[in-house]
Structure 1
Amino acid sequence: MELVKVTDRIWYYPFEKERDRPILGYVKGDDWSLAVDAGHSKYHTLEFYSALEKVGLPLPSITVLTHWHWDHSFGMWKINGKCISNERTKDHLMEFKKWYLEHDTEDFLALDDCIRREYKEYYDIRKNPVIVTVPDILFTDEMLLDAGNCPIRLLQTEAPHTDDSTLIVVENEKVLFLGDAAGGVFPTWEKDPVLCRKLADTIEGLDVDICLESHHFPQTKQEMIDDLRPVQ
């Protein structure tokens, strides 16, 4: 699988339905680069890094989590550099780490078919340990970064998917990474219409043109808003 170029500063490693792997985003500043999400497992993360190296892009210095779910965060222990999340994402990861330590690998694999497919070749836990880690840097509500002539805004938001969603706005490129914020709640995938409208309102107030969801192809801002706030 190869990287997809969105702008002169933004690429993404495509999503994969079979293992429910989300896109892994990449933002290249003049001084350093940033990744969006840490991967489903170490194998997902390392494949992403291999794709970056293949086209001559440096490994990310910072990785930002869009939310805590395993397909976005369980490759964190293999990332290059530091990881950032909002505080609620860290709390969820701590809770899940406690749950995992009280159970076993089979309980984790039993949560979802996509998890089993991600790990099916690596059931020997000595070779492929499931390691739940927490981010290095935390923020609440909002955080501004500058990767070098490339301002990046991290925005904690209300959303129908989880209560710890973070939006990543690459301001000069007018690109928004949403993670799974626009999706329903696992495992029913039901969407709270009130939270959908709140997320739509938030996106409407952002100066972006392209929206990148984790398990979908790119959409325009208006397409994203229309999906969240359909005509009644």
Structure 2
Amino acid sequence: MVEKLQQVNGRVWLYPHDPDPAAVRASVALITGGDGSILVDAGNSPAHAREIQQAITEAGLPYPTTLVHTHHHWDHTWGACAWEDVEIIAHASATDLLSAEAKRPWSHQYLRDQVAKNPRLGPSFRARALAMPEWDGFRIVLPHRTFEDTLELAYGVQVRHVGGNHAPDSTVVTVPDAGVMLLGDCYFPPPFHLRTEEDGLDHAMARRLLRERHTWYVDAHSPPRSLAAASAAGPVDET
């Protein structure tokens, strides 16, 4: 697995996803500005977040002052407690979703008990156990600021709620001067334990986003793709 920050285009950098599907380790983006940067997603654990912090330091890039969640799922938010002195921004619906997750008694025993009750949780909960060798100091952090439809941040960064079947709070982040759209998991089907035989990739959403004709499209579980490559290949599932 490549673990160094990679430049997507212009001011947009990416700490790549882990291609091992058992890891469920989403990519994390950094958008630099004049005196700071904006982080897009937090990492799947405090340990993952610390790896990203080290990579930012080694690359000589500014530490983030803002963290945007593309959605509330654990592999995008569980690293948030390791990011100090950042403002966390998410769609308004994420607050209740994360509050419910924060009430769970997370531990390895809890993960085992939940999988015993519902084996379909196995892939996700085994990945959580791998990501969290220990739980000291871990907590789920709620957003400091929320939005409903769109939000413009520093450095011209645009945030937009798109929703969808994967997560109701799914949000995309656009950096116009770099021609980059960060997609999170917005067009993916629901998580495995909630998925039915009828559920699949949201091709209609993917087509709508491609019609905006950004130079680069980056979902959280695939390498960055140019507009031409994304249009030719179609969307890729995360599982």
**Cα distance in 2, alignment partners of residues 11 and 200 from structure 1:** 22
Which of residues 73, 84, 90 is equivalent to 2:77?
Answer: 73
1:106 and 1:206, CA in 2 relative to 1: closer, same or farther beyond 3 A?
Answer: farther
Q: In structure 1, what is the Cα distance between the partners aligned to 2:95 and 2:211? A: 27
Taking only the aligned residue pairs, the percentage that are identical comes to 24
Paired AA for residue 46 in structure 1: R
Shift of 1:63: 0.7
Question: Paired residue for 1:5?
Answer: 7
Judged with a 3 Å threshold, the aligned counterparts in structure 2 of structure 1 residues 221 and 89 are, in CA distance, closer, same or farther, namely farther
SS in 1 for 2:64: coil
Instruction: Return the match for 1:132 from 121, 134, 140.
Output: 140
Q: Is the 8 A contact 1:19 1:114 kept in 2?
A: yes
Gaps of 5+ in 1: none
**Conserved 8 A contact 1:171-1:207:** no
| Distance across 1 between alignment mates of 2:219 and 2:143 | 22
Q: Aligned partners of 2:23, 2:46: CA distance in 1, in Å?
A: 13
Equivalent positions of 1:100-119 (< 5 A) are 100-101=104-105, 105-108=108-111, 110=115, 111=121, 112-119=125-132
Q: 1:59 to 1:206 in 2, by over 3 A?
A: same
Shift of 1:56: 0.6
Preserved CA contact (<8 Å) 1:203 1:221: no
TM-score (norm 2): 0.82
1:182 corresponds to which residue?
A: 187
State the distance in 2 between where 1:143 and 1:11 align.
21
| Secondary structure at 2:13 match in 1 | strand
8 Å contact from structure 1 (residues 158, 198) kept in 2: no
Q: Which residue in the other structure is 2:118 paired with?
A: none
Partner Cα separation in structure 2 for residue 218 and residue 84 of structure 1: 23
Residue from 176, 199, 203 that aligns with 2:209: 203
Secondary structure (helix, strand or coil) at the match of 1:168 reads strand
Question: Residue type matched to 1:15 in 2?
Answer: H
Q: Describe how 1:23-102 pairs up with structure 2 within 5 A.
A: 23-80=27-84, 81-98=86-103, 100-101=104-105
Residue 228 of structure 1 and its aligned partner are, at CA, apart by 4.7
Structure 1 residues 49 and 156, CA, compared in 2 at 3 Å: closer, same or farther?
same
Q: In 2 relative to 1, CA 224–106 (structure 1 residues): closer, same or farther, beyond 3 Å?
A: farther
Deviation at 1:223, TM superposition (A): 4.3
Q: How many residues align?
A: 218
Deviations 1:166-208 (A, max 9, x none): 0001111110111111222111556746x81441243034241
Q: What is the rounded CA distance, in whole Å, between the counterparts of 1:224 and 1:87 in structure 2? A: 30
Give the residue type in structure 1 aligned to 2:221. Answer: H
Instruction: Give the AA of the match of 2:159.
Output: L
Counterpart of 2:77 in structure 1: which amino acid? S
What SS is found at the alignment partner of 2:192? coil
Check whether the contact 1:141–1:156 (CA below 8 A) recurs between aligned residues. yes
Separation (CA, whole Å) in 1 of partners of 2:107 and 2:35: 42
List alignment gaps of at least 5 residues for structure 2: 116-120
Match of 1:61, SS state, is strand
Contact 2:81–2:138 (CA under 8 A) maintained in structure 1: no
Query: For 1:203 and 1:223, how far apart are their aligned partners in 2?
Result: 14
The TM-score normalised by the length of structure 1 is 0.85
Q: Which moved more, 1:41-50 or 1:30-39?
A: 30-39
1:155 paired residue number = 160
